[in-house]
Amino acid sequence: MKIERDFHMMKGDDEFSYAENSRMQKRAVLAAKPIVEKAVREVCIDLHPQLMVIADLGCSFGANTLLFVSEAITRICEDHNNTIKESPMEIQFFLNDLPGNDFNHIFQSLEQFEQSTTHDCACKGLQPPAHFVAGLPGSFYSRLFPSNSVHLFHSSMSVMWLSQVPEHLDGSMNEGNIHIGATTPPSVAKLYQNQFEKDFSQFLQMRCMEIVPGGRMVLTVAGRKNKDVFHAGGTTTLFELLSQGLRTLVAEGRVAKEKLDSFNIPFYCPSADELKQLVQQCELLDISDIQLLEIDGNAMDDSEQAEGISATHTAGESMSASLRAAMESLIASHFGEGILEELFTVFARNFTSYIESDVEKSGVTVITLYLQAKH
């Protein structure tokens, strides 16, 4: 699979879609809200642009995408309404993702979004600033914008996705694993680390050309608290349980062992130190703030969560739907669509047993970086 061309979250809004299965990612957007608000406010005060250009990178589609847009509009609306009536600020949003993203889903949601934004502002006696939303397909590992043109970059739960499976990770070097698993050789973990370093540095370099001096960047990633890549927890635990599921299918003769051995997920959870170091190497960006937060690792809605055996079963099903919404395009292109139902049923069972076990569970660690472009 060529990631830039073929990778996408599950489209539409049916029960298996990303739009219906992205509650964990929503928690990450909500966790970063205070930093996003601070960034919007600081751009307004420091740069007072007539037209503020805001880009969301790896926006996907569904409620989370518009949640970020709404946070930015509301902040500007509340801070700036009535203050500069003669020349009110306008906002241009660019929503970026890979070409396979369901951009139409976003565009079709906009009419209702506009109505509710106008209504919410009107309830506070305010008028939303004029704003314009455009979709921007392309990889964030390449140039996306003209030089010095973006005031605020935002990206949530996206830059852990690598541009490719780590370079030089070939054949069965990571036998029986699909990510950094318990039996992954340290040399393979190092290849993952190298690929992240290369990709994230490239990401920062591209953005440094595009951001206006003094502009801000808020990046939230699924990261790890622990320095040790072999004890990352969170998303890595989910990949380990998925890997177990694939090993079950190999044992049943449903999947060839070589197919499993040659599948590696292009995803890396960095530590805060790794991120800091890479930003420092970039030299054109200052770190204004860095926050580590543990968000609830449950894929169910807060209102759906209950106690007991059936609750753990439902949690297994929800997590399975959530992981499938993100991973189906990758798995189907490597193993074929025929294994999807069985694999994610086995995963749901594995996840249910995991949460019923005595093992101490952690949530998902998210790291929010607040960066400022030097003058």
Ligand X SMILES: C[S@@+](CC[C@H](N)C(=O)[O-])C[C@H]1O[C@@H](n2cnc3c(N)ncnc32)[C@H](O)[C@@H]1O
Residue among 165, 195, 154 at smallest CA distance from 35: 154
Residue 348 in contact with residue 21, Cβ under 8 Å? no
CB of 1 to ligand X, least distance (A): 12
| Residues counted in the chain | 375
Shortest distance (Å) from residue 61 CB to ligand X: 8
Min. distance of Cβ 324 from ligand X in angstroms?
13
**Strands laid side by side in the 211-222 sheet:** 131-137, 90-97, 51-57, 150-156, 211-222, 364-373, 285-295
d(CA 74, CA 78): 6
- Residue closer to ligand X by CB (options 31, 282) is 31
Pick 169 or 295: Cβ nearer ligand X: 295
Whole-number Å distance between alpha carbons of 107 and 100: 15
For ligand X, the binding residues (CB under 6 A) are 7-9, 22, 25, 29, 58-60, 64, 96-98, 101, 139-141, 156-158, 161, 163, 326
Q: Pick between residue 60 and residue 314 the one whose CB is nearest to ligand X.
A: 60
User: d(Cα 59, Cα 95) in Å, to the nearest integer?
Assistant: 6
Question: Residue 333: CA atoms inside 13 Å, Cβ hemisphere, count?
Answer: 12
Q: What is the DSSP letter of 274?
A: H
Taking the least distance from each CB to ligand X, the nearer of 140 and 153 is 140
Of the two residues 142 and 183, which places its CB atom closer to ligand X in the complex? 142
- Smallest gap from Cβ 219 to ligand X, in A, equals 11
Beta carbon of residue 220, minimum distance to ligand X (angstroms, whole number): 8
> Minimum distance from CB of 144 to ligand X (Å)?
9
CB of 26 to ligand X, least distance (A): 7
Question: Amino acid identity, residue 184?
Answer: T
Contact 285, 203 (CB under 8 A): no
Q: Which is nearer to ligand X, 143 or 254 (CB)?
A: 143
Residue found under tokens 């914008």: 145
Rg (CA), the chain: 21
**Measured CA angle at 160 (ends 8, 216), to 5 deg:** 105
Min separation Cβ 244 and ligand X, Å: 22
DSSP code of 300?
S
Question: In whole angstroms, what is the distance from residue 240 CA to residue 249 CA?
Answer: 14
Which are the contacts of 165, defined by CB distance < 8 A and separation ≥ 6? Answer: 195, 264, 265, 266
Q: State in angstroms the smallest separation of the CB of 341 from ligand X.
A: 22
What residue number has its CB nearest to ligand X? 58
Q: Measured from the CB atom, is 44 or 66 closer to ligand X? A: 66
Q: Answer for the pair 269, 192: CB distance below 8 angstroms, yes or no.
A: no
Which CB sits closer to ligand X, 158 or 350? Answer: 158
Q: Toward ligand X, which CB reaches closer, 139 or 349?
A: 139
